Amino acid sequence: MKIFVAGFHHETNTFAPSPADWDAFTCGAGYPAYARGSAMLQAMLPTNSGLGGFSHAATDFGWTLVPSVWAGAMPSNRVTTDAFERICTEIIEDLQRSNFDAIYLDLHGAGVAECADDAEGELLARVRAVVGTQMPIVASLDLHANVTERMLRLATAMTAYRTYPHVDMRDTGVRAAQMLARRLSAPARAMHAERVPFLLPLNAQCTLMQPAQSIIELIAQLEAQHDVELNFAMGFSAADFAECGPVLFGYGPDAATARDAVRRVHHEVAVARRADWKMALLTPQAAVESAIALALRASAPVVIADTQDNPGAGGDSNTTGLLRALLAADAAGRLAGQVALGLLFDPDAARAACAAGVGATLSLSLGRAVPTWDGTFTEPPVRADVKVLAVSDGVVAMHGPMTAGATMRLGASACVEVQGIRVLLSSAKAQMLDLDLYRYLGVEPTQMKLLVNKSSVHFRAAFAPIASTILVAKAPGPMAADPGDLPWTKLPSNIAVRP
């Protein structure tokens, strides 16, 4: 068997300030850089990714992979028409000149392009136009996928991550391979899908907490008891298009079995546990004061999530709300200088600090004032005299639960001290989801009293084991922690913006 493989990942926040242009896909940063042909397999094989897991399983099945394109960019506003057309064109060109028996696509599932609200559905339609209706197409999806009717109709089967933080991306690729193998030998499987009638806040989707944890456990129980393959795509609640939101879908030996299993989970999500999806958030000032009080008597770090500036959800990782709250509270003075914040995306400041060198003192402007969805701007940059503590070229080998085997390329980077607070500066956007992203600039996170991470949930995979307490702060930023705050224009009236 020859299996055509390709990948396209973009999580689109249509309310975010920056689009995903061609450079966003070619630069790398938090994703492997754009690659085509054998180079894409070399880049993806060692990573915790759907494509990495599928490739490993393909060896066990004796399949030969026909590699096409890997394209991934950090979450942001829409994928530009230019970038989307380049990606699609190269995949279609490879389809037209290759011989293969089936297709595997490593997709995110929450992409919006300037030319297509349902980017993955559009890509699948173009693929189907080349290969016809009978070719098996199996896809893996992110847990945050906004699964559309078009995607469900055009794909033979799809399967989504079951963890957030996403520590099972590779496992999901293996599962996709198993689903494809089943369909190659006995392709007839009935599909059923049910849309959840409300949006889920991003922070509430964490599968380390309730109710998400028990929903995933229920899915596993039903799969073990019945001949079904179930999925809970929780949706990315910042994409303003008609099919944004959570979807439960699954496959079974017949329509009744698939329908009953999906409806059992749907009832748990949308009826029995609906009230449990709500989550309390702290102001920056309240989060910092609570964190300091806790840290003074804790033996392990307190972590604050700067969730609304999460670059893994459309933020640019450059707002200063939490930094200003730390300075106003004299956090470093009260915690003996054991306070760090990262990563702050500021190429100008990072390059200036690198040029000055370790030990230098210089005046810098840190961060940016960026527009948010309601037309207001976040706090202005912090202007301060800083001391350079460490510099780096930004090439970081990763070893954490989500990222083991991957390499991030963050460009010129520096750790600077601002009134005793260690601020980690980078020249590329990446959310603080791994201990290595502190360590590469000389900060040992386990030795800090207080850490501020520009992330929503992914950081928990690496930081929950070392943290005494985790708090979530709602500082002004481009990624709404509460989808009810956003000015929706395309969401249907029967979909509530809050649970």
**pLDDT tens-digit profile, the chain (499 residues):** 999 999 999 999 999 988 999 999 998 677 889 999 999 999 888 888 999 999 999 999 999 999 999 999 999 999 999 999 999 999 999 999 999 999 999 999 999 999 999 999 999 999 999 999 999 999 999 999 999 999 999 999 999 999 999 999 999 999 999 999 999 998 789 999 999 999 999 999 999 999 999 999 999 999 999 999 999 999 999 999 999 999 999 999 999 999 999 999 999 999 999 999 998 899 999 999 999 999 999 999 999 999 999 999 989 999 999 999 999 999 999 999 999 999 999 999 999 999 999 999 999 999 999 999 988 999 999 999 999 999 999 999 999 999 888 889 999 999 999 999 999 999 999 999 999 999 999 999 999 999 999 999 999 999 999 999 999 999 999 999 999 999 999 999 999 999 9
Residues 106 and 145 reside in one and the same domain: yes
Q: How many domains does the chain divide into?
A: 3
Residues 180, 194 within the same domain: no
3 state SS of 472:
strand
Angstrom CA distances, 361 to 343, 385, 414, 416, stand at 20, 7, 13, 9
Is residue 425 in some structural domain?
yes
The bridge status of strand 137-141 relative to strand 157-160 is: parallel
**Claim to verify: residue 380 and residue 359 sit in the same structural domain:** yes
Give the pLDDT score at 32.
87
Q: What is the CATH number of the domain that holds 237?
A: 3.30.310.50
Give backbone dihedrals phi and psi of 74, rounded to 5 degrees, phi first. Answer: -60, 145
Indicate if 193 and 271 belong to the same structural domain.
yes
Question: For residue 306, what are the CA distances in angstroms to 196, 473, 497?
Answer: 28, 6, 22
Query: Would residue 198 count as lying in a domain?
Result: yes
Q: Same structural domain for residues 240 and 138?
A: no
User: Of 187, 217, 250, which residue is a domain's last?
Assistant: 187
* Domain match, 104 and 224 both: no
CATH of the domain at 84: 3.40.50.2300
Query: How far is Cα 155 from Cα 138, in angstroms, rounded to an integer?
Result: 6
Range of the domain at 36: 1-187
491 belongs to a structural domain: no
Measure the CA angle with vertex 294, ends 288 and 295; round to 5°: 85
Shared domain check, 214 and 242: yes
* Residue 368 counted as domain residue: yes
The token pair that represents 301 in the structure block: 């770090």
Tell me the two tokens of residue 344: 């702050």
Q: Give how far Cα 412 sits from Cα of 191, 337, 451, Å.
A: 49, 24, 22
Q: Are residues 68 and 89 in the same domain?
A: yes
Is 257 part of a structural domain of the chain? yes
Same domain, 319 and 204: no
225 in any annotated domain = yes
- Picking from 227, 261, 280, the residue at the C-terminal end of a domain is 280
CA distances from 477 to 19, 59, 234, 328 (A): 16, 44, 22, 19
Q: Is residue 142 part of a domain?
A: yes
428, 431, 432, 437: CA torsion to nearest 10: -30
**DSSP for 1-44, written as a single string:** -EEEEEEEE--B-TTSS--B-HHHHHS-TTSPPPEETHHHHHHH
User: Where would I find the beta strands (DSSP E) of 98-189?
Assistant: 102-107, 137-141, 157-160
Q: Distance (Å, rounded) from C-alpha 22 to C-alpha 45?
A: 23
Helix segments in 296-340, DSSP class H: 321-328, 331-334
Q: Please indicate, yes or no, whether residues 241 and 266 belong to a single structural domain of this protein.
A: yes
Same domain as 350, residue 240: no
Exposed/middle/buried for residue 376 (C-beta within 10 Å: 0-12, 13-18, 19+): exposed
| Domain-terminating residue out of 280, 314, 339 | 280
Cα 112 to its chain centre, rounded Å, is 15
Same domain, 16 and 165: yes
Task: Answer yes or no: is 497 within a domain.
Answer: no
